[in-house]
Amino acid sequence: MADNLLFLPKAFLSTLRANLVLESESAPSSVANTPDCLRPVAMPSSGTLLPPPSPSPLAQNPTYYHVTQDTLTSDSTPSSNPLDSIPGLTTQPARTEDDKVEGLHLLADSVAQQRQLASTAILFHPSTIAILILTFALSYHYLYHGSRSDLAIIGTTTSGIFMAVLITARWLSSGYIEQAERVGTWKWLNRGRQDNSNHGIIVGEEDEILLTRFGDQVIGTIVIRGVRERSTTTTSSSSGNSSPKKSRAKIPVTTVIRGWTVSRKYRHKGVGTGLLEQAVDYARQKGWAGPEFASDHAHSARVLPETFHAGFVKREIEARELLDRVKQEKSQEVKNGRRAKR
């Protein structure tokens, strides 16, 4: 009985050791249950049976970070040309009624802005300043008697005098608002077509309005028309040698500028000069003379007494000199072009 008891443990132990040897040769449990990222790179027992270890996610982080940086850099990098975001500046004729209304409104606004120039001319005129100094001196002379309360009375009186001058200047310059209301209408645009006795014969069915746009915003406009002299036409048509239509065709047409303005924000930046250049090109395409400013152009009205016209006359002279300069430059370009062709 004792031998049997000793024999059983030995047999059990032998069987157990054999099983352990078989399991270790087939696949160790520690290796089989080990994750891929922690498994050894070289395993002699399964070198050809198992696929190569997959790369660790940590090893891919540098590549993923690099791609993310490139994406962010491409999204946040500004355009190679910074001028691409700036709207274009174009000058084209007004084709639709809305375009013409925009041009007329801009022209009317510039006429209304002349009120500020008129008020400045009144307030800073030597005669106005002399009157103010005189009234202030008289107020001090007759109202000051040595008391501090007299100074308050003098201050109130002089303030009232100054306010009266401001109100007077505003009233005298209010005529430009009425003139602006007349300019921004179809009636003003078609003026002279019904009665040509004073303005000659107008060529074409309607005036040409050129608009300068900055993107979609109208920032400049010029209104031009062609005019023939009536007196010369009458003399030519009265002769029996030629028909009125043929004699009229021989009379030169003068390009007349009826209105020219630029939005206040964009003045003194070359926009107005560009409009004058377009007017010169338009006249040459039509074969007309000029252009010249009309005697009754949109900004020709003078609502103040003549003594306050110095600022307006100065602007008028500057505009005409600029137009002459543009025409000379265009003529020189034409001459240079002809020489180059030769």
| In the chain, where the domains are located | 195-341
Contact assessment for residue 225 and residue 282, using Cβ atoms and an 8 Å cutoff: no
pLDDT of residue 208: 95
pLDDT of residue 314: 95
Which tokens is 14 given?
């032998």
CB atoms within 10 A of CB 3: 7
Longest dimension (CA), the chain: 165
Q: Give the helix ranges, DSSP H, for 148-270.
A: 148-172, 175-183, 186-189, 230-238, 244-250
pLDDT of residue 134: 95
Contact assessment for residue 99 and residue 158, using Cβ atoms and an 8 Å cutoff: no
Q: What pTM does this model have?
A: 0.69
Task: Of 230, 212, 238, 244, give the one whose Cα is nearest residue 107.
Answer: 212
pLDDT of residue 246: 52
pLDDT of residue 41: 45
pLDDT of residue 62: 46
300 sits in which H/E element: none
Q: What is the pLDDT along the chain (342 residues), one digit of tens a residue?
A: 444 444 455 555 555 455 544 444 444 444 444 444 444 444 444 444 445 555 544 444 444 444 444 444 444 455 567 667 788 889 999 999 999 999 999 999 999 999 999 999 999 999 999 999 999 999 999 998 888 888 999 999 999 999 999 999 999 999 999 999 999 899 999 998 876 555 678 888 899 999 999 999 999 999 999 998 875 445 444 445 555 555 556 788 999 999 999 999 999 999 999 999 999 999 999 999 989 999 999 999 999 999 999 999 999 999 999 999 999 999 888 777 766 665
CB atoms within 10 A of CB 275: 23
pLDDT of residue 200: 78
pLDDT of residue 107: 96
**Strand ranges (E), 9-133:** 89-93
Q: For 195-341, CATH number?
A: 3.40.630
pLDDT of residue 34: 43
How far is 293 from 222, CA to CA, in rounded Å? Answer: 11
